[in-house]
Structure 1
């Protein structure tokens, strides 16, 4: 019986899992680490979908929404959607606040959960692990703000409004060198002629789903096992859903079936990864996967939108 559980990693996945298991009367300890960013958490754009907000409403009662938008500008094209920016530090506190920052006793528990995200501190190195190098700035500006993305080779640049006069402006790529990404992001920041409040750098895993379960005593959840959408970088929603799947199996008393359930839910993430891998050609056959990825993240692209995105992806992937 899995009664005493140590969760290593205090991001969205770790805190969601801790909350659900605590409510189910499990003996849970959540271990995190201090972050030295201005916001006190790991770098993130703070954007998510309406579906994720509705899921969060079942878990927490605290308001965390900063802004609600109904479209995104993708390379200048307006695509309808149901998009939210959230106060992520407040979200993390609302999900679970009893976090320990000492070293866990990994021998004194029935189950260890690796929710450490990119580092996979407990899980072994992943085969074919794809990561994007990201830079991001928080900017205060008087210019109009809209959620927007610009495709580049192996990735994209983004602007995520955090209310009316602040935004996260960043970019990432699996193909471009660090210096080039940073230059592109800084050029984008300068376009807004605003005040830089803070900045951060950290890669993000875009591998698609990795094997979630290693053994009966060690299991992974969240970005540790690749629950990030490669086309768009959305990680909050799939990390919550993955944590709920794991919680369901822990409550049942067995991890048997967890890997199968995760593959059924998120197997498409790995298949969609090729869309942004810098391939000169983006097959028409990839459009259903692109549609699924964008819909999952709150967008409602038309067939015309998808054809436009395919053309822009091919143009970006041909860039030197």
Structure 2
């Protein structure tokens, strides 16, 4: 079965890449190892800009938006809140499975051939063609794209991931009923070394009284901390019940040093395209998939699939998104070393805009300039951000 491109992994990156390449008239095969979409747990919060980047029709948003988000509350260990708001809708809590179904529908309507329950088992490059064997298929194309997450088969099959290069942390999430937060149109993030060591707890209210309640930590099992947090907050969870439980790893180590080679590209979490401080990867992955598709179409038109040609994708991605990931990683490395007392002080010093910039890896120089004036944080944070 011959194609112009084979994509492994039907997450946000793989679906948008496949669609954008197929829109240009190329034959694309998309293979997914799981039986359904969106198996990996996710807080399911997105900014309003995601829908623009993903080019989703406004009429389709009702199919996957659970609740609009008007802001976020970041809660320091002592309970102090930094409230982040914007005029209008800041973003949405979505049903990720339905969101991916819409993206899958767009891809299929443009001619992408989607194969579910077809894990990639073998892949080899011979005479300018990549042959991929799955559970029941043998596919061949001049271009292979790995959009298959942090356990990327493609990255390992083509030696694109160095030993120990990818840093992941464990995360667990419950879907809970009867969650009573102060304002269901806010998302909530709780910090503290006794709450979530080198990580955070999140509460993302969904439709009705449902909410995604999760945690990511470093150096410890996450579930006991999440259970402890729930027990410590009866005002939120006294009447709550867990109706879903999922666990997975989240990439927080930044982008891999090699995400292209001859005839092969990595996109999305497979490439490390995740904001390290937040663990958010939907927007960064969709952006990666679109940029990669643009470069891949040029390679298909010219017939040149060399790493030199495909590396245009890397340079274009790094102009904005790669820089954000790199700067967020700097912030993560600095903040994860702070004590609870220092986190409390930081909540008093930083403005809501500063918190957003740190979390997203944007305008961190302005945050560093403010912290340089503080005797403690000039050394512990500012210099790390400026390095």
State TM-score, norm by structure 2.
0.68
* Partner Cα separation in structure 1 for residue 29 and residue 232 of structure 2: 42
* Partner Cα separation in structure 1 for residue 20 and residue 295 of structure 2: 12
Q: 1:25 to 1:85 in 2, by over 3 A?
A: same
Q: 1:18 to 1:187 in 2, by over 3 A?
A: farther
* Partner Cα separation in structure 2 for residue 115 and residue 142 of structure 1: 34
Stretches of structure 2 lacking an aligned partner (at least 5 in a row): 76-80, 106-112, 124-130, 132-139, 300-308, 381-387
Do the aligned residues in 2 keep the contact of 1:47 with 1:86 (CA within 8 Å)? Answer: yes
Which structure has the bigger radius of gyration?
Answer: 2
2:180 corresponds to which residue? 143
* Partner Cα separation in structure 1 for residue 214 and residue 243 of structure 2: 13
Between stretches 157-166 and 271-280, larger displacement belongs to 271-280
* Partner Cα separation in structure 2 for residue 178 and residue 123 of structure 1: 27
Shift of 1:212: 4.9
* Partner Cα separation in structure 1 for residue 59 and residue 30 of structure 2: 21
1:93 equivalent among 60, 79, 101: 101
Map 1:168-179 → 2, pairs under 5 A? 168-178=212-222
What secondary structure sits across from 2:153 in the alignment?
coil
* Partner Cα separation in structure 2 for residue 35 and residue 184 of structure 1: 33
1:121 corresponds to which residue? 153
Shift of 1:147: 1.0
Shift of 1:180: 4.3
Shift of 1:187: 3.5
* Partner Cα separation in structure 2 for residue 61 and residue 161 of structure 1: 23
What secondary structure sits across from 2:25 in the alignment?
coil
* Partner Cα separation in structure 2 for residue 155 and residue 248 of structure 1: 35
Shift of 1:289: 8.5
Do the aligned residues in 1 keep the contact of 2:326 with 2:361 (CA within 8 Å)? Answer: no
Pairwise CA RMSD: 3.3
* Partner Cα separation in structure 2 for residue 289 and residue 209 of structure 1: 24
Shift of 1:295: 5.7
1:205 corresponds to which residue? 251
Shift of 1:128: 3.3
Shift of 1:291: 4.4
Do the aligned residues in 1 keep the contact of 2:167 with 2:251 (CA within 8 Å)? Answer: yes
2:91 corresponds to which residue? 83
1:49 equivalent among 36, 47, 50: 47
Do the aligned residues in 2 keep the contact of 1:59 with 1:95 (CA within 8 Å)? Answer: no
Between stretches 55-64 and 236-245, larger displacement belongs to 55-64
1:131 corresponds to which residue? 168
Q: 1:47 to 1:111 in 2, by over 3 A?
A: same
* Partner Cα separation in structure 2 for residue 154 and residue 89 of structure 1: 29
1:163 equivalent among 194, 202, 207: 207
State TM-score, norm by structure 1.
0.81
2:118 corresponds to which residue? 102
Q: What's the CA shift string for 1:281-317, capped at 9, x where partnerless?
A: 7899x999964354679xxxx97xx97xx99xx9xxx
What secondary structure sits across from 2:253 in the alignment?
coil
Aligned length: 300
Structure with bigger RCO (C-alpha 8 Å, 6+ apart): 1
Q: 1:29 to 1:134 in 2, by over 3 A?
A: same
What secondary structure sits across from 1:228 in the alignment?
coil
Do the aligned residues in 2 keep the contact of 1:147 with 1:158 (CA within 8 Å)? Answer: yes
